[in-house]
Amino acid sequence: MKTLSDFNFKGKTVLLRSDLNSNVVNGKVLLGGRIKESAKTIKELKKKKAKIVVIAHQGQKGKATFASLRQHAKYLNKLTKIKFIDDLIGKKAINEIKNLKPGQAILLENLRFEEDEFHPQKGKKNKLIKILTPLFNVYVNDAFSVCHRKHASIIGFPKYLKGFGGRLLEKEVIALKKINLKNCLYVLGGSKPGDYLPLLKGNRVLACGLFGQSCLIAKGIDLGAQNKYLSKEVSLNQALKDKLKKRLKNVITPLDFGIKVNNKRKDLDLSEFPSKYKIFDIGPKTRKEFIKKIKKTKAVYMKGPVGDFSSKGFEKGTFEILRAISKSKGFSLIGGGHLNDAIAMSKIPRKKFDYISLSGGALLKMIAGEKLPGLEALKK
Ligand code: 3PG
């Protein structure tokens, strides 16, 4: 893979795929590690006098985190000057790209607002590829954390443009190649149960977050209000439930949960469900049980939050589990944007973990031994 050191970017128009995907609370995007680290690559390309056009995504269609990149641009702008263009492949975007001067950067609108982002197989008929490719000299992928997605911005552009790995992508690839996860305990939370399927067979797993709840529903447990929420928020349909159910042999699921009643936390045992209230965290029994297992393990990998740590009173699950991992003697690997934010909020020193990756799903696939389409595309 070629990197930013292998080319003279001076005066070249660069299509830079970054991962700015961040935590969103009540419509407000939170400034996290992905935005901060992406800014460094933009800065380096500016120094090299490239004309930089950043493309990125936020959230998934139909979910609460699906949003414009306007707020991301505001954060980025504090770190390095960048102009937000509320357009992706229309006249406005095209004019701005054509008028860029060396050392300038713009950020286009959320890639996922354009359906063709999901159809790279259309090749030159794909709108993103057809309209954007002729405007650029080179493509840089700095979004290691999206390299598991076969999207146009990941595998489409490098078919038609000379491709390079950005600094953040390079840093993650080098670090992750050195990691040894023999006899690892997997603490899997967050909201993307489908992504975990390749890891469930044969591995010891502590299931939490929306993933833990999905496992319980797959086992046939009725959680009440949370069932409906999960079917929408994590697309928990019958097919996914069936797949999960077949892989739950080594998966330990929560014993209790923290629910929100009149804006206050109440802990309920699993036997007290279904409940009309939504779940925001694991309960004290689960915490204790999980921490016991974490203490004994030789290596631990955690991905995704345990609960909604941005809601007051529901931080405990995520923070306590992270704290236990930070104290464990075994090798610790943390993955994903949310946990990066949680570590910052919990004030646990980052150096207490062996490696913290900004990547969630992509890292997971790499650990499961799968090739990442985004990295393969850069090699070709
Ligand atoms: C992530 O958050 O893991 C990356 O930004 C990829 O996002 P996605 O899971 O919505 O494709």
Q: Which atom of ligand 1 is nearest to the CA of 19?
A: 5
Q: Which atom of ligand 1 is nearest to the CA of 195?
A: 9
Mean pLDDT computed over 209-217: 97
pLDDT band at 4 (very low <50, low <70, confident <90, very high): very high
Which residue did the predictor score with more confidence, 360 or 157?
157
What's the 363 CA to ligand 1 centre distance in angstroms?
11
Mean pLDDT computed over 329-344: 94
284: cis peptide before it, omega within 30°? no
The pick from 18, 19, 30, 154 for probing ligand 1's pocket by mutation, whose C-beta has the most ligand atoms within 8 angstroms, reads 19
pLDDT in tens, 314-323: 999 999 999 9
What's the 29 CA to ligand 1 centre distance in angstroms?
15
Say which residue the tokens 């589990």 belong to: 321
- Judged against a pLDDT cut of 90, whether residue 178 lies above it is answered with no
Residue 20 and residue 60 in contact, taking contact as beta carbons nearer than 8 Å: no
pLDDT band at 132 (very low <50, low <70, confident <90, very high): very high
pLDDT in tens, 243-283: 999 999 999 999 999 999 999 999 999 999 999 999 999 99
- Judged against a pLDDT cut of 90, whether residue 373 lies above it is answered with yes
Residue 332 and residue 353 in contact, taking contact as beta carbons nearer than 8 Å: yes
- Judged against a pLDDT cut of 90, whether residue 201 lies above it is answered with no
Q: Which atom of ligand 1 is nearest to the CA of 59?
A: 10
- Judged against a pLDDT cut of 90, whether residue 369 lies above it is answered with no
pLDDT in tens, 8-41: 999 999 999 999 999 998 899 999 999 999 999 9
Q: Is 65 in the pocket of ligand 1 (CB under 6 A)?
A: no
Q: Is 19 in the pocket of ligand 1 (CB under 6 A)?
A: yes
Mean pLDDT computed over 356-363: 93
pLDDT in tens, 36-55: 999 999 999 999 999 999 99
Residue 165 and residue 192 in contact, taking contact as beta carbons nearer than 8 Å: no
Q: Which atom of ligand 1 is nearest to the CA of 146?
A: 6
Q: Is 149 in the pocket of ligand 1 (CB under 6 A)?
A: yes
pLDDT band at 223 (very low <50, low <70, confident <90, very high): very high
Residue 320 and residue 297 in contact, taking contact as beta carbons nearer than 8 Å: no
Which residue did the predictor score with more confidence, 306 or 181?
306
Rounded to two decimals, what is the model's pTM?
Answer: 0.89
pLDDT of residue 187: 97
Mean pLDDT computed over 338-360: 95
The pick from 146, 147, 191, 357 for probing ligand 1's pocket by mutation, whose C-beta has the most ligand atoms within 8 angstroms, reads 146
What's the 19 CA to ligand 1 centre distance in angstroms?
8
Q: Is 374 in the pocket of ligand 1 (CB under 6 A)?
A: no
Mean pLDDT computed over 318-336: 96
Nearest to 106 by CA among 117, 92, 116: 92
Q: Which atom of ligand 1 is nearest to the CA of 192?
A: 9
Q: Is 337 in the pocket of ligand 1 (CB under 6 A)?
A: yes
Query: How many Å apart are CA 335 and CA 322, to the nearest integer?
Result: 12
Instruction: Name all domains of the chain by residue range, CATH numbers in brackets.
Output: 4-173+374-379 (3.40.50.1260), 179-348 (3.40.50.1260)
